[in-house]
Structure 1
């Protein structure tokens, strides 16, 4: 059996390695048009920024290493130009010497990855100071340009993972950074009320963030000197980084009739098989599917690519591994904040038809007397089943372990109540006695069973619709005078039992405090005194004021 893999980064090399572990007899050949193999794309911003000392640290293995360890032949700078799947043969161009050869296969694996999207008008002409961040050669080019030209101002197009990571690193290097983002928020896959906290962080660090805009015109001959946006803003720049997302490299696959999914990536089953016999697809060129909905999704991440490659290599050599889907779990750092996300966002859950309970949980990541800092968790549960559907977490520490715990819980179909019963590690340097994950489960379960939550968005919508509400601020007079919810009356929690007769039990009532805990206590008091419909404002006044600031910033 001869296996040919097209592509030698995370997914392609994983296919080859697993196939060899299972089968010593198979001939395994890998072709890649690039110079480097099995490198860390995600590490590139940190090497450009200087946190990783050498590019060599991102490319720990080469073709000779694979040949010696796995008896796998990897040919770099070799481009597969055409495939005849009926004859099971392909044409390969040696990009160094220009020769073409024909090779034959029994099994073909597409691990062709994805290509950075070049948005207009940058797609009209090549410029010597415009770069993308997708492979090791891109890093070499950016480093060489920076060393020679010493740029002071950089324009970044796009505010996803790569755009934000490059922003952080270039600001650390002392560059003046402008971001232009087509959507009205950074990190569009997340919910806007959470990413607004990232936007505040960017602006606090001196980043010029321009949302809901695109580049309309470019000035400069061989180099981009300045751009003008559709909104009429002119920006002078010394360097441009395009970080506007990626598109799967499906051209070769489409030429032989491989089916493409709705996401524009190759459609595969749980064994990484395409619609064609003996043809597989893995990594950033292939679709995955959602653990929650079962529907195909496209999540080009290195962790998923490695997993898909291992599964394909096993199946090809007689194994029974199957892909179990993904949650789209991701995390990134932006200056002082860590930002994690897993499962469905609020907008995705509603689009899928879920009736969701939404909790904003603001808690320290570990004991405050040991320097614990605030985490903001937005978590969703299905009102019908209680199942946790997703979470987004922002904070200066402890985000990674909380998002991973919740991702694990979602994978195993945990309900809100199950989070509370987890036996998580506790010591003051690492957690609080009631860990933010445990509190998330407890508060969501309470909300699903008689103590409903109300988000700032839902409250404002009901107010705008003219609904008669009574809103109770349970904090101190000092805090109330500093800022409060529109229409609120001030009744501290300690006075609520004796003053509850001042309120109308028949009117929908909202209680709140600063972050949510005292608001929940007040909610219980009123429910126990016969109030029919009482909500706790999720995340309290702090989250409410943040939401108002977000709305104001988008006008």
Structure 2
């Protein structure tokens, strides 16, 4: 009878234990966990802090008692494995309650130690009132601080997934929240122009967002914390959440002589075996292969950890099961928006030297004529020669998860952007469109690959060359509300009649609001002998691009009298009429024009 020892629970360890038992009733399984809980929903911790998940017990996926009864697993909590004796195939365990050590033998050992939050070397980082969030105990401590200190202010350091979720959670609890991010954008898994809407959403919801800013010191006095920033400003707060990332917990593996990779994780084979064939590693501490680049990577996500636990269990039981690399498919809620990604982003592709092309699509989440449609901004990255899908990102209020899930599945299956055109996806007006945003992205990318739509990007039009002309084909009303500096305006519907106004010795850089009218204009111009390119994503993507990292001050409403003195705002006048505008089903710029017509009737 085999004896399998598992170090650590939660996603990887607990899933390995359950899978082992389902495959064999004869294996002896011992699971060591140094804490009180072996399997809890750590991704749900911010949502209990916010109050969205009201009951703490809902976060407990499996208890030691249910694991023992249902799976016949010897679960030992408050038991820390302090050393691995590979030569004798045993582990040294410290019973934290009894404060004594003992040994336990194994035939196979599974390491699932997870990752620990990074605390940067900032003076005062360990002050009372400064927290990280990894487990239930951390969550309880944060909630206790809010209650005991009657906290009304919070600073979150780090704008990644945990930082974004925590700043929303604290804001939902009524705390005035400041988010400090070292980079010029939040959510570094997105490219900067795709992250720009998240910054706007944070500010719209009252978050004091400080980009390009670092924390220099944290000091505490009488329960109040002062956070000194690189800008020279100081933020006074009741609590600080540090969410600058995690590092794999590998000290056991290092001391045991297991191979540690370039990214700092435990090197594993596709079977999840380490450099010792009797020892497996799963979850956040395992260094796996990136699906796109083939390079080593660390992906601290629950989905991959669960699958890795299953694969390790399969291999121990003699099954031919292998981990096929990770795409890093993930999603994050930011107030009323969601942001999702799969594969590599543009920054990652450039770092690895992989050639890529990109297109942007701004499309409705479902049929525009059905109420409630919301815009999704989608970025698709692909190989310029083969159309291989390299990555995708999406931001929007509805339907983001569906589109990235579809593209992630297509990428995993080896489909190309040309294949996205032919995907038959669910359609009924409340749920989708006859041309789904994924199909639409496939159409646009295919047009680029087959030469029907030469494109340019936002950085191409910021400083156009002398032999290039910027042409805005939106309406004159749209043009007057804002355009790219130096552009001329010829609305699309007037273009055929005004071709003589365009110089034939210049390349024409065409743009509209989101790209569709620009494409139509380019088809006209190309067939009239003009050299032209369409700005993919249009003016909307350009605005996101030029707004990256810009700091905006809080809007303070005030009025001044004739002498220039501030005076209180006067109460607003009662609304005498309500005007309902039905813009369903109108393509760009229809909604804007409909709104203008309605406003004109009021004047």
* TM norm structure 2: 0.89
Q: SS where residue 39 of structure 2 aligns?
A: coil
Q: Which has the larger radius of gyration?
A: 2
* Cα displacement (A) at 1:367: 2.0
* Cα displacement (A) at 1:251: 0.3
* Cα displacement (A) at 1:392: 0.8
Contact 1:170 1:177 in 2 (8 A): yes
Contact 2:78 2:97 in 1 (8 A): yes
Measure, in 2, the Cα distance between the counterparts of 1:508 and 1:374.
Answer: 31
The equivalent position to 1:547 in structure 2, one of 545, 548, 556, is 545
Q: 1:129 to 1:551 in 2, by over 3 A?
A: closer
Contact 2:472 2:483 in 1 (8 A): yes
Give the count of matched residue pairs: 550
Measure, in 1, the Cα distance between the counterparts of 2:487 and 2:301.
Answer: 46
Q: 1:223 to 1:214 in 2, by over 3 A?
A: farther
Q: Where do 1:131-530 residues align within 5 Å?
A: 131-220=131-220, 223=223, 225-369=225-369, 370-450=371-451, 451-460=453-462, 463=464, 466-530=465-529
* Cα displacement (A) at 1:554: 9.6
Higher mean alpha-carbon deviation, 439-448 vs 492-501, is at 492-501
Contact 1:120 1:215 in 2 (8 A): no
Q: 1:415 to 1:6 in 2, by over 3 A?
A: same
Q: SS where residue 17 of structure 2 aligns?
A: helix
* Cα displacement (A) at 1:420: 1.0
Runs (4 or more) in structure 1 with deviation over 6 Å come to: none
Measure, in 2, the Cα distance between the counterparts of 1:553 and 1:257.
Answer: 48
* Cα displacement (A) at 1:352: 2.5
Q: SS where residue 426 of structure 1 aligns?
A: coil
Measure, in 2, the Cα distance between the counterparts of 1:186 and 1:125.
Answer: 22
Higher mean alpha-carbon deviation, 172-181 vs 137-146, is at 137-146
Q: 1:221 to 1:77 in 2, by over 3 A?
A: farther
Q: SS where residue 550 of structure 1 aligns?
A: coil
Contact 1:29 1:73 in 2 (8 A): yes
Q: 1:142 to 1:553 in 2, by over 3 A?
A: closer
Q: SS where residue 225 of structure 1 aligns?
A: strand
Contact 1:474 1:491 in 2 (8 A): yes
Measure, in 2, the Cα distance between the counterparts of 1:546 and 1:15.
Answer: 44
Q: 1:233 to 1:225 in 2, by over 3 A?
A: same
Q: SS where residue 137 of structure 2 aligns?
A: helix
Q: SS where residue 253 of structure 1 aligns?
A: helix
Q: SS where residue 61 of structure 2 aligns?
A: coil
Contact 2:155 2:178 in 1 (8 A): yes
Q: CA-to-partner distance for each residue in 1:148-168, whole Å, 9 max, x for gaps? A: 222000011111111100111
Measure, in 1, the Cα distance between the counterparts of 2:122 and 2:299.
Answer: 26
The equivalent position to 1:534 in structure 2, one of 532, 535, 545, is 532
Q: 1:476 to 1:121 in 2, by over 3 A?
A: same
Q: SS where residue 372 of structure 1 aligns?
A: coil
* TM norm structure 1: 0.96
Contact 2:509 2:533 in 1 (8 A): yes
Q: SS where residue 319 of structure 2 aligns?
A: coil
Q: 1:353 to 1:218 in 2, by over 3 A?
A: closer
Contact 2:184 2:549 in 1 (8 A): no
* Cα displacement (A) at 1:125: 6.2
* Cα displacement (A) at 1:222: 7.5
Structure 1: give runs of 5+ residues left out of the alignment: none
Contact 1:358 1:380 in 2 (8 A): yes
Structure 2: give runs of 5+ residues left out of the alignment: 554-603
Contact 1:128 1:222 in 2 (8 A): no
Q: SS where residue 62 of structure 2 aligns?
A: coil
RMSD: 1.6
Measure, in 2, the Cα distance between the counterparts of 1:545 and 1:251.
Answer: 46
Contact 1:455 1:538 in 2 (8 A): yes
Contact 2:82 2:92 in 1 (8 A): yes
Q: SS where residue 411 of structure 2 aligns?
A: helix
Q: SS where residue 310 of structure 1 aligns?
A: helix
Higher mean alpha-carbon deviation, 452-461 vs 76-85, is at 452-461
Q: SS where residue 151 of structure 1 aligns?
A: coil
* Cα displacement (A) at 1:60: 3.3
